[in-house]
Amino acid sequence: MDAIQLKLCDIQGRLFELSGTQKISSEAFIRAFMTSETTKALDSTYNRMQWMGEEYLLEEVKDAAGDILSASGDVFQPDVLYWIGYLYRYWHYYTGEPSNKILKQAPVETMRRNYLMFHTMAPELAIEDLKEIYAKKK
């Protein structure tokens, strides 16, 4: 993992945190983001979106998602949101998998439920454990 990729993980973590600050339903936001065109751009080798910052990215997702994000729902704690956002982006760089496939393997509720156990682990170990949980459910 290079310094640029780690910076992009941080930007995505801050993006998820910002969604909570704006009182957007965490589950709705994460699902909308991880399956969005914005995220497809972030998954590419290089795209200008990668350097737009969390405020711009949030506006892009909100504009595209529309009413989906206005639905009421639980807003996760900032540290949980940051970790989920960071780990999802790290996962993409670690495995090369697209974000929508990552979401299928580690849905929002799985990430939230496992936060306390996994947030202190090295990201690679957390990802491997989440993949193992997914494999056992199949």
Taking the CB of residue 61, how many other CB atoms lie within 10 A of it?
A: 22
Q: How high is the pLDDT of residue 118?
A: 96
The total of structural domains in the chain comes to: 1
Q: What are phi and psi of 73, to 5 degrees?
A: 180, 170
pLDDT band at 32 (very low <50, low <70, confident <90, very high): very high
Average pLDDT over residues 21-37: 93
Tens digits of residue pLDDT in 110-121: 999 999 999 999
- The whole-number pLDDT of residue 72 equals 75
Measure CA of the first residue to CA of the last residue in the chain; give whole Å. Answer: 30
**Residue pair 30/58 in contact by the 8 Å Cβ criterion:** no
For the cut 70, the answer to whether the pLDDT of residue 37 exceeds it is: yes
Query: Distance between CA atoms of 47 and 41, rounded to whole angstroms?
Result: 6
Q: What is the pLDDT of residues 73-95, one digit of tens each?
A: 899 999 999 999 999 999 999 99
Q: Which domain holds residue 72?
A: 3-137
Amino acid at 39: T
From residue 61, give the alpha-carbon distance in Å to each of 23, 46, 54, 96: 15, 19, 10, 22
Give the confidence band of 47 by pLDDT, cuts at 50, 70, 90: low
